[in-house]
């Protein structure tokens, strides 16, 4: 866990967005992972995902408050969250501003239709070279289509860790592109699913709002968060012990 946390991007989101804009303009291939405690816990158990998190091609940003708090336990002060939803919006705006091309993959057909309409109506500077909902059987075929279209930005919303694995396994086939696994971001951006009320976001309790209303997430919450905290505490203790020796 410590290795992941040490790798997390340490500057604030304004700085991060500036760097992303530069990468977009320079056509620098980039893979961004929006991390919450659940994702880091997956890395701890799943070798393939562990490799993705630690590979130098990936940038890990602190999507969840648990990552910001976890970093603090290791003496790392992060300025705050950089969420997947906000990053997706920022990339849409940047593509619009610089007239760049984009491919959207994931979420339901209805949500994807709303995303297309939103882009046509409000961000018409974007060259949307392709869009595909996330419930097609052959996801690799979609990746092949993306390779052919060679877009500047690729957002994949299939849920963790599938979206990250799919991107990672195909990354070699691209020579440019900003790739992000954006989870439920299309649901939120298209207005199909509401983000938590502002007060929850402000108090850093967005996670509480999200799990409270979906019992199916309760187990995931336990696995990804309660266990995460205990694991971090153990690792901090171990690190302190080593230092004292």
* Using rule CB under 6 A, residue 143 touches ligand UDP: no
Residue with tokens 């929850």: 200
Distance separating alpha carbons of residues 79 and 49, to the nearest angstrom:
26
- Cα–Cα dist 99/97, whole Å: 6
Give the interface size with ligand UDP as a residue count (CB under 6 A).
13
User: Which of 86, 184, 189, 221 is in the footprint of ligand UDP by CB under 6 A?
Assistant: 184
Binding flag, residue 188, ligand UDP (CB under 6 A): no
Gap between the Cα atoms of 232 and 196, Å rounded: 27
Nearer to ligand UDP, 33 or 157 (CB): 157
218 lies in the binding site for ligand UDP (CB under 6 A): no
- 52 in Cβ contact with 4 (< 8 Å): no
In the chain, count of helices (H) and strands (E)? 14, 6
Report the residue number, 107 or 119, with the smaller CB distance to ligand UDP: 107
Binding mask 76-115 for ligand UDP (x = CB under 6 A): ------------------------------xxx-------
Binder of ligand UDP out of 1, 183, 189, 228 (CB under 6 A): 183
Q: How far is the CB of 13 from ligand UDP (least distance, A)?
A: 19
Q: Which neighbouring-strand residues pair with 92?
A: none
As a three-state string, the secondary structure of 57-111 is CEEEEECCHHHHHHHHHCCCCCCCCCCHHHHHHHHHHHHHHHCCEEEEEECCHHH
Exposed, middle or buried by CB within 10 Å (0-12, 13-18, 19+), for 10? middle
Residue 37 engages ligand UDP in binding (rule: CB under 6 A)? no
Q: Which is nearer to ligand UDP, 100 or 207 (CB)?
A: 207
CB of 217 to ligand UDP, least distance (A): 8
User: Which is nearer to ligand UDP, 108 or 127 (by Cβ)?
Assistant: 108
* 160 three-class SS: coil
Interaction of residue 186 with ligand UDP, rule CB under 6 A: yes
| Site residues for ligand UDP per CB under 6 A | 106-108, 134-135, 157-160, 183-184, 186-187
């Amino acid at each position: 866990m410590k290795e992941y946390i040490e790798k997390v991007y340490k500057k604030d989101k304004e700085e991060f967005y500036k760097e992303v804009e530069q990468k977009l303009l320079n056509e620098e291939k980039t893979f961004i992972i929006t991390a919450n405690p659940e994702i880091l816990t997956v890395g701890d158990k799943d070798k393939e995902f562990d490799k993705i998190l630690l590979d130098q091609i990936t940038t890990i940003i602190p999507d969840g408050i648990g990552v910001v708090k976890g970093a603090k336990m290791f003496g790392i002060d992060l300025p705050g969250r950089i969420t997947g939803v906000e990053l997706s919006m920022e990339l849409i705006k940047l593509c619009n501003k610089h007239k760049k091309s984009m491919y959207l993959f994931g979420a339901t057909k209805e949500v994807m239709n709303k995303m297309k309409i939103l882009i046509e109506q409000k961000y018409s500077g974007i060259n949307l070279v392709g869009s595909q909902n996330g419930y097609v059987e052959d996801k690799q075929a979609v990746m092949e289509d993306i390779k052919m279209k060679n877009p500047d930005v690729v957002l994949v919303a299939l849920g963790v860790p599938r979206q990250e694995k799919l991107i990672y396994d195909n990354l070699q086939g691209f020579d440019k592109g900003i790739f992000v696994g954006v989870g439920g971001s299309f649901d939120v951006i298209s207005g199909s699913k509401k983000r938590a009320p502002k007060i929850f976001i402000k108090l850093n309790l967005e996670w509480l709002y999200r799990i409270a209303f979906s019992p199916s997430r309760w187990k995931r919450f336990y696995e990804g968060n309660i266990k995460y905290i205990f694991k971090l505490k153990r690792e901090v203790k171990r690190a302190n012990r080593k230092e004292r020796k």
